[in-house]
Structure 1
């Protein structure tokens, strides 16, 4: 196999596929710049260097983020031209770059003996977009979870302790003992009070269970 010829042929094919994206440093070293299909647009660069016996060995690869200057200049775009307002965004960090590079190296090993740069470049773009969009999705979910938690917290302010016959009777007993209402009640008019008056004043010592239920029902209705 003529390694130099194989490399030259592949590089020629890459020129036709990536007329704006390909940045040739030498006959054996080049970068391919990508604008990812993300919102907002993110940029990533695949660095490739041919070992002397490529494609019988894997190419030397690198992956890094970019500000997109190279592509914008090649395409005649102005800074900010591709910007759009989004609610959530994130960045691809060094750990992400390592993960992407590991996937490329693994795929390159599987393609030893064949020209593989186009395959690797396509894989990188796809994986980088998927990784970025997944990070943004997690950020959106975390934001939604925080909003729901805050709403729940606000709703708790308007929720009282549920009134049961037992809890009402216990509260009433303590209330009457504290204010000695049983003694006072002996001198008060025995006129039947409304449910709310019973609750607010707690004066009727001999009310039956129906009176207690009426008081609780009226309290729940008027909450």
Structure 2
């Protein structure tokens, strides 16, 4: 136990002669503070954007019994940080992120340690249309080039049958397939395509309208 203690003792020989009593003072102090060890983990460190990562800091520890640790995560993502032990962060953009965990104890003196994880975020699949992606009674047909990059993409076809006998839509990706969607007046509808592999295609979206008020439709990547 930490403290100052007085110790006294006597020495005697085998004839029973005693020496003068000796008194000593002994001081017991705390062991020197040792730095904690930061251990940073994650359930994944790579994937397509947006990438959600669950980080793990609870394996960090301090050699000094009784020291309390505090945590600071820097996600290297536009200043985003967290003081949680096991935080979650979503990386919206592609790139390589040097995520650091700093663990600090409350000893004397205060000490800390840092660990780093590299998270690699890929762009993810994308689809780009060169032209319009919607049709109406004033623009019943559109065509252009569709470019799919970084993986396969599916598309959603949706429309509304405003007036008259409603709306019928036709969406064609050259060399792949054609999809049809019909809506009666006053009702909406939707249809999803299967995954379309990356590449460059010609697309056409056209509509057949049985009325003039509110009829229309469009297409876009899911």
The structure number with the bigger radius of gyration is 1
Name the structure, 1 or 2, with higher relative contact order (CA <8 Å, separation 6+).
2
**Bigger helix share:** 1
What is the TM-score with the length of structure 2 in the denominator? 0.23
What is the TM-score with the length of structure 1 in the denominator? 0.23
**Bigger strand share:** 2
